[in-house]
Amino acid sequence: MTQSDPSDSFVPAAHPSTWLGVMGGGQLGRMFVHAAQAMGFKVAVLEPIADCPAGHAADHLHVAGYTDAHALAALGQQCVAVTTEFENVPAQSLSQLAQHAFVAPAAAAVSVAQDRMAEKTFFTRCAERSGVMPAPHQMISSQADIDALPDDLFPGILKTARMGYDGKGQARVRSRAEVSAAFAQMQHVPCVLEKMLPLAYEISVLAVRGADGEAVVYPIAENVHRGGILFSTTVPGPNVTPDCAAQAQAATLQIIAQLDYVGVLCVEFFVLSDGSLVVNEMAPRPHNSGHYTIDACVTSQFAQQARAMAKLPLGDVRQHSPAVMLNLLGDLWFKAEDDQPREPAWEKLLALPGANLHLYGKDDPRRGRKMGHVTFVASTLAEAQQNCAAACHLLGITA
């Protein structure tokens, strides 16, 4: 059963305005605000920091903590539906919001994605239908757990069970001694050790499910990570076979259905050297690897999120142009020897064919911080890749 009657959709209106709410003030919230406003909604954001990307664009900003009961009640009473722009919003806060408004995705679905062990347990259960298992893994909460680790889990990656993103809270380990050292460095918080597998490449699958149970899935994105942070996304994935794409999409549709999920969900997979699939993790929100949909698809992932939470018909997921998306990190601002930040030459970047620049309104560039992205669209994938390579050369990025 879904959490609400899908027949009662929330249509945009001029007077009185139809308000949608967002928990979180980052760039994903900002892009959601733009998409929802283009459809005629007004958007309210709840975020502890007043100077935030989503707050700059929102129609109203509630400056408050994510657990502030008064602010949550105010947001819930103002909005007909509320979503989250990142997975670490407390699930209890989403439950509180659900007393006042339709919340998509629901707290129960988000809570699974907030804990790596719960997530892997869920993926394992889904594998009966999806046919795709997570990597071999073990929960670690004590030295006794480390001592009992099987030898075949090494080498592996130790990850904190909660709050990890963009490569944070992770360490590669080759022995129990290295696990112990990394576990201590992580302050002995609960962790998961995952076996390292022979990786060929990584893909992500973006799916959307409505309150009525209808679900659609986007083309497969092939991703490259550097330093644990997404570097680029190419769609269609140049290495993705039709069988791999079909299996990953089918598995994602099984996952989103078994979660009883409403909204945009991104599921990341590893493709191993033998061509087999392993499910890695999921993000209960629009995703960095789905930014290409803004410029290359009929309906962007952010417009889909607005449609799903408003219980409107889902949009067309067709990709009309091959695309390559390149993340723009704060490192680009620090090319001079004096280490003073300088704005990159955007005018030169925009002179490249098919360039679509998206900056996130952050005025404090820092190394490793996501400041924006650029998506190259073209009539052929080769052209998009060529123009992206030219952008890397222009910006001083090793392609």
Q: Which tokens go with 393?
A: 């050369």
Specify the residue for token string 């439950």.
Answer: 95
Q: Which tokens go with 314?
A: 């889902």
What pLDDT score does 222 carry? 98
Give alpha helix (H) positions in the chain. 27-38, 53-57, 69-78, 91-97, 107-114, 116-130, 143-147, 176-185, 242-258, 293-296, 301-309, 346-349, 381-395
- With 0-12 CB in 10 A as exposed, 13-18 as middle and 19+ as buried, what is 68? middle
In angstroms, the CA 348 to CA 330 distance is 18
**Nearest to 119, CA basis, from 286, 323, 265:** 265
> Which CATH number is correct for 199-395, 3.20.20.70, 3.30.470.20, 3.30.70.120, 3.90.550.10?
3.30.470.20
DSSP state of 312: P
**Nearest to 117, CA basis, from 171, 191, 167:** 191
What pLDDT score does 8 carry? 84
What pLDDT score does 203 carry? 98
What pLDDT score does 3 carry? 44
In angstroms, the CA 95 to CA 45 distance is 17
What is the edge-to-edge ordering of all strands in the sheet holding 60-63? 60-63, 42-47, 19-23, 81-84, 102-103
C-alpha radius of gyration, the chain, whole number: 21
DSSP state of 169: T
What pLDDT score does 229 carry? 93
**Nearest to 165, CA basis, from 232, 113, 126, 130:** 113
User: Per 3-state DSSP, what percentage of the chain is helix, strand, and coil (rounded to 5)?
Assistant: 35, 25, 40
Report the CATH architecture of 136-195: 2-Layer Sandwich (3.30)
In angstroms, the CA 89 to CA 82 distance is 12
What pLDDT score does 290 carry? 98
Say how many CA atoms lie within 13 Å of 397 toward its Cβ: 21
In angstroms, the CA 218 to CA 229 distance is 22
**Nearest to 133, CA basis, from 118, 146, 141, 122:** 122
Helix (H, G, I), strand (E, B) or coil at 70: helix
In angstroms, the CA 189 to CA 181 distance is 13
3-state secondary structure 1-35: CCCCCCCCCCCCCCCCCCEEEEECCCHHHHHHHHH
CATH number, span 19-114: 3.40.50.20
In angstroms, the CA 331 to CA 195 distance is 31
Q: Which residues pair with 230 in a beta bridge?
A: 225
In angstroms, the CA 270 to CA 285 distance is 20
Q: Which tokens go with 157?
A: 């990656």
The tens place of each residue's pLDDT in the chain, 399 residues long, gives 334 454 589 999 988 999 999 999 999 999 999 999 999 999 999 999 999 999 999 999 999 999 999 999 999 999 999 999 998 899 999 999 999 999 999 999 999 999 999 999 999 999 999 999 999 999 999 999 999 999 999 999 999 988 766 556 788 999 999 999 999 999 999 999 999 999 999 999 999 999 999 999 999 999 999 988 999 999 999 999 999 999 999 999 999 999 999 999 999 999 999 999 999 999 999 999 999 999 999 999 999 999 999 999 999 999 999 999 999 999 999 986 667 889 999 999 999 999 999 999 998 999 999 999 999 999 999 999 999 999 999 999 987
The domain spans of the chain are 19-114, 136-195, 199-395
In angstroms, the CA 144 to CA 23 distance is 39
In angstroms, the CA 85 to CA 210 distance is 17
Q: Which tokens go with 92?
A: 């209890």
pTM for the predicted model, two decimal places: 0.94
Angle at CA of residue 292, ends 246 and 323, nearest 5°: 80
